[in-house]
């Protein structure tokens, strides 16, 4: 049975008041207020960050804790976030120990370093492997600039 048609979007977040060093490093290196992205499919969104392993969260409940500030709709697909091929992306850990040097040396000073496991990397991987959409941005801001090509970016 084919799942119903669900909208696929990328969400952008600004850091909470209790910013940690990863958010601070990303904000400093990119000179952008956006420090987190997530992929939304229907009412579910895929997040990774802090102590949270990557997981699909029910968006209406998650919005009570963290409200996205931007959203870019990419398209509609007959897929559901809890399909086995999408659930396989759960359980990953954010590479916190690599984030600070990568943000400072790689993004700020322009040295090439391998991209650690980040929310942007996870979003790009799912888009490419599951929806055949290739994006190359390494930061939330670069991903936003690239996503604007898909359509209108809505603000909250």
Structure confidence by residue, pLDDT tens digits, 39-96: 999 999 998 876 778 899 998 877 767 778 899 999 999 999 888 889 999 998 877 7
Give the separation between CA 125 and CA 102, rounded to whole angstroms.
19
Q: Distance of alpha carbon 50 from its chain centroid, rounded? A: 13
Give me the residue spans of the domains in the chain: 6-155
Question: Mean of the pLDDT values across residues 128-154?
Answer: 88
Q: How far apart are CA 52 and CA 133, in angstroms?
A: 26
pTM for the full model?
0.86
pLDDT of residue 114: 78
pLDDT score at 16: 65
CATH 3.90.1720 for domain 6-155, yes or no, is yes
Residues 89-124: tens digit of each pLDDT: 999 887 777 777 877 787 777 777 777 888 889 999
């Amino acid at each position: 049975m084919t799942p119903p048609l669900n909208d696929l979007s990328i969400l952008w977040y600004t850091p909470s008041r209790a910013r940690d060093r990863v958010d601070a490093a990303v904000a400093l290196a990119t000179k952008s207020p956006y420090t987190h992205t997530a992929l939304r499919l229907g009412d579910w969104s895929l997040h990774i960050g802090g102590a949270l392993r990557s997981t699909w969260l029910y968006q209406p409940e998650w919005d009570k804790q963290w409200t996205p500030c931007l959203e870019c709709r990419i398209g509609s697909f007959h897929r559901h976030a809890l399909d086995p091929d999408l659930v396989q992306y759960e359980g990953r850990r954010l590479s916190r120990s690599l984030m600070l040097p990568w943000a400072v040396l790689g993004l700020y000073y322009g040295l090439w370093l391998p991209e650690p496991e980040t929310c942007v990397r996870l979003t790009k991987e799912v888009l490419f492997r599951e929806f055949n959409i290739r994006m190359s941005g390494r930061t939330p801001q670069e991903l936003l600039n690239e996503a604007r090509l898909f359509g209108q970016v809505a603000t909250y």
